[in-house]
Structure 1
Amino acid sequence: MTSSSTTGPAGQQTSAGRPAPFSASATPLDLPAGVRRTVLPSGLRVVTEHVPGVRSAALGVWVPVGSAHEDPSVHGASHFLEHVLFKGTTTRSALDISIELDEVGAEVNAFTAKEYTCFHARVLDADLPLAIDVLGDMLTSSTVADDDVEAEREVILDEIAMHDDDPDDMVHNLFAAQAWGDGPYGRPIAGTEESIGAITPDQVRAFWREHYRASTLVVSAAGNVDHDEVVALVAGSFGRDGFLDGEAEPVAAPLADAPARPEALAVAAGASRLDRAFEQVNVVLGGRGLARGDERRFAMGILSTGLGGGTSSRLFQEVRERRGLAYSVYAFTSQHVGAGLVGVGVGVLPAKLDATLEVVRAELAAVARGGLDPDEVRRSAGQLRAGLVLGMEDTASRMHRLGKAELLGDPHVEVDEVLRRIAAVTPEEVAELAREVLAGPEVLAVVGPA
């Protein structure tokens, strides 16, 4: 079979390669310069970006399953499996994996989100073949033995306990639970003490076999990488145990709880509080935001930054600089494929809680009425643009950008185009969005001493 690969940017020729056990994407794509994409016959996608002048490579393997896709009976399975796949394969023990990666100074880890799981590595360019081989071995040929599941269960329970000792983690989990209840987006990613204690090795193995399929996976790499070499290495490493056998079209990332429906964006207004013997009270106040694909996401970025994204922001100036109510105050957005939140986080002494909430609510109401002024919009756009460009100097950031876009169906867009879209946001667009999201139902989460 002859391989060809789509290259970018649009208008450049595609190139035919040597015979190999893979084929190109059947759908030509407009890709940024330096980005190439290939789809294996099994449906596994490989997307790479060559970054001149670096001697490192960042690698990610993306699986479109996270806590939002779990049945309640296996709550926490995605995160559990992320741990267990490091415990050994049919040819490598857990120690073997650690030794091989440590010998080349590799930075290797994994994380689970609400809508995906990612296994990632950052290595010297010469050691990329080893990183691909180890991650391919882990994802296709792990043993997922009963003993390993039981051992890792205790580790995960300790991790949950650690998060329960972190007031910032607790308040954000409480905020999501208040907003979305016990639905897919409201449950904590790591599971609960009860759900992790109840899950069985058979359930973990079944979850692995069901969701880790070639047609759903994306491999992304950025740095001093050669696309054809990466594709050949992936075809070899992920071909273990027949994982790449058969032909299939790539499977789009599943949506949790059919969130394409407008009602899936709704949040439940109200307040939740957990009494904990911390020194401070941690608060998150907010409401419904935007889904990941919403065209207004650039305006949302500017709105969030103007509210609490820097030392010149409304909330920093009013809460910290003028009134001295808190050391840290910030605004944030969380955008998923099917839902989103916008909020403000702050940590205060208990005696200052009421005054701080009064000030935060007043600032949110003022922005909901009048938006941000032109100077605030300009400054916020500058912060977003600089953050994007500075982040792109890191190969890991480029790899994450590639992998998430491919996995979640976003277009691969030139950085200059993103910068243009940020700069094009007007104060009127920010004001219109502020009226919609800041004047909606209020969600409040509070963690700290009574």
Structure 2
Amino acid sequence: MSRTRRSSFPAARRGVPSPGLARAASGTARAVTRTLSDDPLGGTVRRTVLPSGLRVLTEAIPAMRSVSFGIWVAVGSRDETGPQAGAAHFLEHLLFKGTNKRSALEISSEIEAVGGETNAFTTKEYTCYYARVLDEDLPLAIDVMCDLVADSVLAPADVETERGVILEEIAMHDDEPGDEVHDLFARAVYGDHPLGRLISGTEETVTPMTRRQIQSFYRRRYTAPQIVIAAAGNLDHAAVVKLVRQALRGTPLDTDAAAPAAHRPATPAVRTKPAATLVEPKETEQAHVILGCPGIDRTDERRFALGVLNNVLGGGMSSRLFQEIREQRGLAYSVYSYASQYADSGLFAVYAGCAPGKVDEVLDLTRAELQRVAATGITEAELARGKGMSKGSFVLGLEDTGSRMSRLAKGELLYGNLMPVDELLARVDAVTLDDVNGLAADLLARPMSLAVVGPFDESAFAAR
């Protein structure tokens, strides 16, 4: 298992059905289906809202012989209270352990018997369960995945078994300083806010967590209006909807009592800390450092300019930081920048892994480059290259059914609408030099937090 604001869109565009849309004139609950697009780079995209509020989106791609099917739930680690930290991730593990119809072995063996694959991952704002199968085996995948998400038994013995597995996962994560430094940086920026916590929770929160607590979290959070089902590949939309309804019949998700789909934030508003430095002393051969600041949220109109800026600064081998730190000076094997965006906040950061004795030089060069771009901006040539990278990576990322399925679900779950491919490319094309340089002047001038994992005393960076 992988761990990885309220929308400003009008209700109709967000895809949140009004009570009138969910019911026929006679008052009888019914499903509502719309065609969202006939994308020239893909297939027909359709969306059905069931009477329960659960949403089903599909993209029909007849040229494929496979289908990716995912169940996405609008709950992640930011929805947990302090004592619950790790509950969403714990639940992700447990749902594969058995339902009222299937044992854990049957869940895995039924999919593997047809050459399919299943997995799941938890993030800070959502959880996803997915399967990839041959098109002819889609009915089986729908039945199995809907069963485990809607009707898991959470047996006490399984809770104890998975507790041990998760504690081992946490220990393994602690042995990966290149991963640990990202969590340390999130804590430097967000502190005790849920966005600053580990998705997996900690040994201190996972060890005492009870089945009753997990069961309560499951039934309160996994409700129909919070769930988006998405599928992409060689499929028929009406057939998928029919199979989903059959698979959910008689489960807690089979209801006509729809509530409006909630959009973020449903959890405490984000509070970023003043710039901080956190050091995790660890005897490693390489030091891992992240320098960065609070960024922008996912609905900020500047997000397209941010993608271009990120590409120019540290998004590839031609980027400024890669050329300066690795190619010209040989100070690090890995150096890159990245942006993380949430409903009401975000991060922008630069990561580098280098010899402990080179950390000061790497940080000095990084700070100097960020300050230079904040003060003087980027060039027209860099703008063109950054836009080309954004467009190319997006389109190339749609070459398989899994990425297309994810695009459907994230569009609905996180934005409330699906932006057509052509519109997204046009939005990138529309980014101007002034857009990027204005964002750089704002973003890169913000106070920077620093996270370091390596063989250092905690006071080594006190003055930095």
TM-score after normalising by structure 1: 0.92
- Residues 314, 447 of structure 1: CA spacing in aligned structure 2 closer, same or farther, 3 A cutoff? same
Counterpart in the other structure of 2:243: 233
User: Is 2:62 the counterpart of 1:56?
Assistant: no
- Aligned residue among 302, 315, 323 for 1:317: 323
Structure 2 contact 189–293 (Cα < 8 Å) conserved = yes
Displacement, 1:305? 0.8
- Say which SS state the counterpart of residue 309 (structure 2) adopts: helix
**Corresponding position: 1:426 with 2:436:** no
1:243, CA displacement in angstroms?
Answer: 2.6
Deviations 1:293-345 (A, max 9, x none): 11110000011110001111000010011111111100000001111000000
Give the equivalent residue in structure 2 for 1:90.
100
For 1:121 and 1:242, the matched residues in 2 are separated by: 22
Deviation digits for residues 209-259 of structure 1 (CA, Å, limit 9, x no counterpart)? 111111211100011111000000100111233531223144123415443
Aligned CA distance change for structure 1 residues 44 and 425 (closer, same or farther; 3 Å): same
Does residue 100 of the first structure (1) align with residue 115 of the second (2)? no
Deviation of 1:92 after TM superposition, in Å, equals 0.6
Once residues 422 and 206 of structure 2 are traced to their aligned partners in structure 1, the CA distance between those partners, rounded to angstroms, is 45
**Aligned residue for 1:436?**
442
Q: Please state whether the residue corresponding to 1:243 is helix, strand or coil.
A: coil
| Alignment pair present for 1:146 and 2:156 | yes
Contact 1:311 1:317 in 2 (8 A): yes
Deviation, structure 1 residue 417:
1.0
CA shift, 1:75, in A, is: 0.7
CA distance, structure 2, for counterparts of residue 446 and residue 77 of structure 1: 28
Distance in 2 separating the partners of 1:428 and 1:409: 26
1:9 alignment partner in structure 2: none
Given the superposition, is the C-alpha separation of residues 387 and 141 from structure 1 closer, same or farther in structure 2, using an over 3 Å criterion?
same
Q: CA deviation at 1:425?
A: 0.7
1:253 maps to: 263
Unpaired stretches in structure 1, ≥5 consecutive residues: 1-5, 7-19
Give distance in 1, aligned partners of 2:340 and 2:107.
Answer: 34
What percent of counterpart residues are identical? 51
CA distance in 1, matches of 2:38, 2:303: 21
Q: For 1:387, which of 383, 393, 398 is the aligned residue? A: 393
Out of 410, 413, 421, the position equivalent to 1:407 is: 413
1:17-416 alignment to 2 at 5 Å?
22-24=30-32, 31=37, 33=39, 34-259=44-269, 264=270, 266-416=272-422
SS of the aligned residue for 2:332 comes to coil
Q: CA deviation at 1:393?
A: 1.1
User: In 2, are the aligned partners of 1:32 and 1:413 still within 8 Å (CA)?
Assistant: no
Deviation at 1:157, TM superposition (A): 0.4
CA contact (8 A) 1:329 1:345 kept: yes
- RMSD across aligned positions (CA): 1.6
C-alpha contact (below 8 Å) 1:265/1:340 kept by paired residues: no
Letter in 1 for 2:199: I
Offset, 1:23: 1.0
Q: Measure the CA separation in 1 of the matches of 2:96 and 2:150.
A: 12
Q: Offset of 1:407 from its aligned partner?
A: 1.0
Shift of 1:411: 2.1
Distance 2:188 2:202 in 1: 16
Distance 1:254 1:419 in 2: 26
Give structure 2 stretches of 5+ with no counterpart. 1-11, 13-27, 457-464
Q: CA offset at residue 409 of structure 1?
A: 2.9
What amino acid sits opposite 2:449 in the alignment? Answer: V
Q: Indicate if the aligned counterparts of 2:151 and 2:252 stay in contact, CA closer than 8 A.
A: no
- Name the SS for the 2:323 alignment partner: helix
Secondary structure, counterpart of 1:198 in structure 2: coil
2:36–2:47 CA contact under 8 A, matched in 1:
no
Distance 2:273 2:110 in 1: 47
Matched-pair contact (CA < 8 Å) for 1:179–1:443: yes
* 1:256 to 1:439, Cα distance in 2 relative to 1, 3 A: farther
Amino acid at match of 1:176: A
